[in-house]
Chain A
Amino acid sequence: MRPMEAFLTGRVWIRQAFPFSEQELQEAIQQNKAQVIAGITDAGECRRCLERSQASIIAYYCATCNKVCRYCRTCIKMGRISSCTELVVWTAPTAKQIGPRVFGWQGSLTFLQEKASQAISASIERGSDHLLYAVCGAGKTEILFAPIYEALQKGLRICVAAPRTDVILELAPRFHQAFPDATIHTLYGNSPEQNGYGEIILTTTHQLYRFHEAFDVLFVDEADAFPYSLDPSLERAVKKARKRNAPIIYISATPSKTLQKNVSEHSTIFRRYHGAPLPVPSYRALWNYERKIHRKKIPVPLKKWIEDKLQKKQPFLLFFPSVELIDQAAPLLKAIDSRIEAVHSKDPDRKEKVLRLRNGALLGLATSTILERGITIANLQVAVIGADHRVFDAAALIQIAGRVGRSAADPTGDVLFFHDGIAHQMDQARQTILSYNKEAIT
């Protein structure tokens, strides 16, 4: 495959940022292999993210093309696209590379994992969508390896999309190990340029905008929010990135009712790979915690819990409902022990702090909901401060609880909901976890 074809197949690229010479591009256009299209259609639709709502496609007087021009706000963070922006797309079909490949994964699957793995393979074979409904710690990634290996040998182009960069970064080394001879691209905001034709693309959902009819099979990890009622553009990104009728495998520990209804083929795993039940959250009152923290006091029950973990040398996460509360609590927690740090979604040192907690340099981390997924730390203990707060819906609380007891060596641990009055969402999370545990033993 020539470099331009390898780069451009299935992608949508801004011409100005196109990494090949004008001459090469012109050649490809003359051979009907590539095309240059306007960034926004006359009807006002963004050709990259398919946005068409008037609130997001903005008209203004443009000094580049000297007339009224429109730009798309939805995908603006990836470089603005306007009516006078030219996009390059590849239009020629790509030959499939069929043949035997190296499989570098040698682990074994539990009975339930094996069953789910085979069911997913069968769905891909039939070309139908599939929902893998599996609790946190069920060993979801391992379940995917065999189906992906089969797809790879059939020459299918594979995509694994997840909402956040952390998850993608965690997946990358495991995929490189499992598929040592495959070209794997890892894409997230500001990820380094990667050469060649990516056979397996690990990407944040947002980066999918850069693809167009690219994938023969798509795995959407953490598809809890699907269909994305709040951000329909993400669902559009998934649909746009797949080839016509390519199957989508949705993976979720807390799928929405709609998703469960819309996808007809399901696998469920309510038991963790090590077989131990999910830790069940317990409740503890923390009256007026907001006001107390505001007045520079860590409430006594919370302080006691922290001291207990410090004494037992168990790493812990404290989930707070807002960044403001984290900021107020951070110095107070540091006063208890200087090895307790705070982190929130906009913190540039986020990755590093999580790593320090994992390797023991930090003992505890106060965090907003952003860390609820994609983090696995041995022997981790978790407390939610203000579990009754509206930011913690049942799905988020289940995910938070799912951080605990992940390793076979330490399958238990604290999941403590500190509250200022028990909320329905807390009960719902607890009931759901109990029901998983019950179903797992039957």
Chain B
Amino acid sequence: MNCYLCDQQLRFVPSWRGIFLQELPEVLCRECRSGFLKLNTSGCRLCSKPGDALCRDCLYWEAHGYQDLIESGISLYSYNEAMKNWFHQYKFLKDVVLAEVFASDLKEILVKERATVVPIPLHPGKLHERSFSQVDQLLVAAGVRYSHLLEKCGETLGEKNRQERIASTDLFHLNGEAVPKQVLLVDDLYTTGTTMRHAAKALTQGGAKDIRMLTLIRA
């Protein structure tokens, strides 16, 4: 098969791990794979942004009524050039198979997860237009089970600026399913953290006690 991103032929190297541990197949060539930059865990304890133990965005939320709402969090990759290109092709060109690019990362992290995995949902209108939910699809590709507990309210974040975003009320409401105590929220891209805080707030009101978050990318 060929690399999903540059279309050059992949040299297939059969490995014992692949055969016995049922690892997901590599879909990128080595060059394309090396373009992505993994975040280490030394940065922000909520979003992995390199630097202080609490980044500016997360600090803002802690100081503005969302203190300790989220136990901990992690983002896997930096939003560098390679990631921007991948994200564009996946989300906007709607190249659904690209979900497989990060399937083994997500599988590795989520395979032993005890909490209920809850993806951030799309608005139904948006979902119909895009034809797939980019967050769900990442989990599907990784073979991870998840439950939808949230529904997106009317508007999308798109055109608003940061202030308006933060001020905006209730982005999500509960969909009526029982809310478990432990929840792991999953999203594709962490920018200001607004989406996650709003989702966490709705879940807390529904009875969740221990909310953590996982995002693929930290902008």
Q: Which residues from chain A sit less than 8 Å from chain B, CB to CB?
A: 55, 58, 60-65, 69, 71, 73, 76-77, 80, 82, 84
Q: List 27 A-B contacts (CB under 8 A).
A: A55-B1, A55-B2, A58-B96, A58-B97, A60-B96, A60-B97, A60-B132, A61-B132, A62-B131, A62-B132, A63-B127, A63-B128, A63-B130, A63-B131, A63-B133, A64-B128, A64-B131, A65-B131, A69-B131, A73-B95, A73-B97, A76-B89, A76-B94, A77-B93, A80-B93, A80-B95, A82-B131
Question: Contact mask B116-134 → A, CB, 8 Å, 1/0?
Answer: 0000000000011111110
In the complex, chain A residues whose CB is within 8 Å of the CB of B127: 63
In the complex, chain B residues whose CB is within 8 Å of the CB of A69: 131
- 17 other A-B residue contacts (CB within 8 Å) besides A61-B132, A71-B94, A76-B89: A55-B1, A55-B2, A60-B96, A60-B97, A62-B131, A63-B127, A63-B130, A63-B133, A64-B129, A69-B131, A71-B96, A73-B95, A76-B93, A76-B94, A80-B93, A80-B94, A80-B95
Q: How far is the CB of A49 from chain B (nearest CB, A)?
A: 14
In the complex, chain A residues whose CB is within 8 Å of the CB of B93: 76-77, 80
Number of A-B contacts (CB under 8 A): 35
Cα-based distance from A71 to B98 in the complex (angstroms): 13
In the complex, chain A residues whose CB is within 8 Å of the CB of B95: 73, 76, 80
Q: How far is the CB of B71 from chain A (nearest CB, A)?
A: 32
Closest to A231 in B: B7
In the complex, chain A residues whose CB is within 8 Å of the CB of B130: 63
Interface centre among B1, B2, B93 (most CB of A within 10 A): B93
Interface residues of B in 1-22 (CB under 8 A from A): 1-2
Q: On chain B, which size bracket covers the interface?
A: 10 to 19
Cα-based distance from A77 to B89 in the complex (angstroms): 8
Closest to B96 in A: A60
Question: Contact mask B87-126 → A, CB, 8 Å, 1/0?
Answer: 0010001111100000000000000000000000000000
In the complex, chain B residues whose CB is within 8 Å of the CB of A61: 132
Cα-based distance from A80 to B95 in the complex (angstroms): 8
Q: How far is the CB of B162 from chain A (nearest CB, A)?
A: 27
Cα-based distance from A60 to B133 in the complex (angstroms): 12
In the complex, chain A residues whose CB is within 8 Å of the CB of B131: 62-65, 69, 82, 84
In the complex, chain A residues whose CB is within 8 Å of the CB of B129: 64
In the complex, chain B residues whose CB is within 8 Å of the CB of A63: 127-128, 130-133
Q: How far is the CB of A187 from chain B (nearest CB, A)?
A: 19
In the complex, chain A residues whose CB is within 8 Å of the CB of B89: 76
Q: How far is the CB of A71 from chain B (nearest CB, A)?
A: 7
In the complex, chain B residues whose CB is within 8 Å of the CB of A84: 131
Cα-based distance from A58 to B27 in the complex (angstroms): 14
Question: Contact mask B69-84 → A, CB, 8 Å, 1/0?
Answer: 0000000000000000
Q: How far is the CB of A101 from chain B (nearest CB, A)?
A: 41
Closest to B85 in A: A346
Cα-based distance from A45 to B192 in the complex (angstroms): 42
Closest to B131 in A: A64
Interface centre among A64, A65, A84 (most CB of B within 10 A): A64
Q: How far is the CB of B95 from chain A (nearest CB, A)?
A: 6
The 3 closest A-B pairs by CB, nearest first: A64-B131, A60-B96, A62-B131
Cα-based distance from A58 to B127 in the complex (angstroms): 19
Closest to A346 in B: B81
Interface centre among B89, B130, B131 (most CB of A within 10 A): B131
Q: How far is the CB of A260 from chain B (nearest CB, A)?
A: 26
Cα-based distance from A58 to B100 in the complex (angstroms): 13
Closest to B133 in A: A63
Q: How far is the CB of A296 from chain B (nearest CB, A)?
A: 22
Cα-based distance from A84 to B129 in the complex (angstroms): 12
Cα-based distance from A76 to B132 in the complex (angstroms): 16
Closest to A64 in B: B131
In the complex, chain A residues whose CB is within 8 Å of the CB of B133: 63
Cα-based distance from A76 to B127 in the complex (angstroms): 19
Q: How far is the CB of B39 from chain A (nearest CB, A)?
A: 23
Q: How far is the CB of B11 from chain A (nearest CB, A)?
A: 15
In the complex, chain B residues whose CB is within 8 Å of the CB of A77: 93
Q: How far is the CB of B22 from chain A (nearest CB, A)?
A: 22
Closest to A84 in B: B131
Interface centre among A69, A80, A82, A84 (most CB of B within 10 A): A80
Q: How far is the CB of A153 from chain B (nearest CB, A)?
A: 42
Cα-based distance from A61 to B95 in the complex (angstroms): 13
Cα-based distance from A76 to B96 in the complex (angstroms): 11
In the complex, chain B residues whose CB is within 8 Å of the CB of A82: 131
Closest to B4 in A: A73
Closest to B98 in A: A73
Cα-based distance from A3 to B96 in the complex (angstroms): 36
Closest to A69 in B: B131
Q: How far is the CB of B119 from chain A (nearest CB, A)?
A: 14
Cα-based distance from A55 to B94 in the complex (angstroms): 16
In the complex, chain B residues whose CB is within 8 Å of the CB of A64: 128-129, 131
Closest to B97 in A: A58
In the complex, chain B residues whose CB is within 8 Å of the CB of A55: 1-2
Closest to B137 in A: A60
Q: How far is the CB of B177 from chain A (nearest CB, A)?
A: 19
Q: How far is the CB of A236 from chain B (nearest CB, A)?
A: 15
Q: How far is the CB of B23 from chain A (nearest CB, A)?
A: 20
Cα-based distance from A62 to B130 in the complex (angstroms): 9
Closest to B81 in A: A346
Q: How far is the CB of B48 from chain A (nearest CB, A)?
A: 27
In the complex, chain B residues whose CB is within 8 Å of the CB of A73: 95, 97
Q: How far is the CB of A74 from chain B (nearest CB, A)?
A: 9
Interface residues of B in 147-204 (CB under 8 A from A): none
Closest to B1 in A: A55
In the complex, chain A residues whose CB is within 8 Å of the CB of B96: 58, 60, 71
Cα-based distance from A82 to B130 in the complex (angstroms): 12
Question: Contact mask B18-57 → A, CB, 8 Å, 1/0?
Answer: 0000000000000000000000000000000000000000
Closest to A74 in B: B7
Cα-based distance from A76 to B93 in the complex (angstroms): 7
